[in-house]
Amino acid sequence: MIYLDNSATTKPYPEVLETYRKVSEQYFANPSSLHSLGGKSEALLAQSRQQASSLIGVDPKEVIFTSGGTEGNNLAIKGAAFAYRNRGKHLITTDVEHASAHNAFHQLEELGFEVTYLPVDREGRVSFQDFQEAFRKDTILVSIMHVNNEVGTIQPVNQIGDFLKQYPTTVFHVDHVQGFTKVPLSLAKSGIDLCTISGHKIHGPKGTGLLYVRQGTMLSPLFSGGGQEAGHRSGTENLPGICAMVRAMRMTREKEEEGIAHLMQLRDRLFSGLSAIQDAVIHTPREGASPHIVNVSFRGIKSEVLVHALEKKSIYVSTKSACSSKDNGASTVLLGMGIPEDEAGQAIRISMAYENTMDELATFLDVLRQTVNDLKIVMR
């Protein structure tokens, strides 16, 4: 099996699964309970928060544990919009956000907020000038993803964050789900107030994540309940999942420098191999993109057909975001980049992890070339 759908989810590290099992067995008590077992769970939760904060370079009080990227984005976007609605109702985002963010903004529009959706260029990147022109005195929230989940384009979040340092009444949220451990980002220096990270994108368990909330940033909670996570996120904490995710964060961080260099080598090989296949159109920019995602179309072959043909040969890639892959129609990200609809409907996403090898890529490219040729013959 060759697994190249790591942007959808990653395989958990064995050590991470062992941590989950151990904590489930030995620290099963509710961290909010007053007895000694609850106290041990509470101490482990505090230790995990400390470790997570050190891994992303922030204060432990700024780490809120969530169930993943979707909850993190919704809590950041809706929570900030509701908390600061007395200051204004103008929000800024992009045309190419993940569905969890994009749909949250649509809901806010229905509630009376005004949203500016920044367009992107042919490489999937927003213009800083467009952002500046869209910014207003009553803009209370800016939400921009760091790395696009379908094409890998890196957005100018550092430049936007530097600009927003002049406007402390505007909250800046960054969806860092695809960028974390793939494209370095300093939360302390970037001017970011809210940042979303997901556990299952870095070999942690599904249903885990965290939201960085800069001290002093207000959020209106989405859940009513016991006031866990400093009142931001009620509900009994998923302690086994949290501990397992933090272990995945630590293990991935330890591999990060060599891992990113390895991914860049893999991507270079992938670019050269794909470019040699007839009728291949690569949508991911060669520069200014994450090293782990490559999006490509093969003219005349629908993406679903190619994905299933490769699956029969034990090779796994995807079409678009896993959350949207079963929706009919072409990728809204590619359409937003100005890609023709028929070409956008022929795109597949290849996404790698540190564990993928050069031999796997060589095999993948050989099988892909033959599969594309075979499908063209069938479709004539």
CA 191 to chain centre: 19
- Helix (H, G, I), strand (E, B), or coil: what is residue 219? coil
Sign of the Cα torsion 26, 65, 323, 2 reads negative
Task: Determine the Cα–Cα distance for residues 178 and 289; give it in Å rounded to an integer.
Answer: 11
Cβ–Cβ under 8 Å, residues 349 and 275? no
- Tokens matching residue 375: 């499908």
Is 323 catalytic? The answer is yes
Which of 323, 335, 365, 375 is an active site residue? 323
Among left, alpha and beta (phi > 0; psi -120 to 50; other), residue 47 is: alpha
Write out the DSSP string of 173-213. Answer: EEE-TTTTTTS---TTTS--SEEEEEGGGTT--TT-EEEEE
Pairing of strands 209-213, 63-66: antiparallel
- Listing DSSP states for 107-155 in one string gives HHHHTT-EEEEE-B-TTS-B-HHHHHHH--TTEEEEEEESB-TTT-BBP
Closest listed residue to residue 198, CA positions, set 206, 186, 190, 187: 206
The angle, 0 to 180 degrees and rounded to 10, between the axes of the packed helices 14-26 and 239-275 is 170
Question: Of 314, 8, 292, which is closest to residue 152 (Cα–Cα)?
Answer: 292
| C-alpha distances out from residue 213 to 53, 87, 207, Å | 11, 19, 19
CA-CA distance, 118 to 131, in Å (whole number)?
7
- Of 137, 132, 138, 187, the closest CA to residue 160 belongs to 132
**Which residues carry out catalysis?**
323
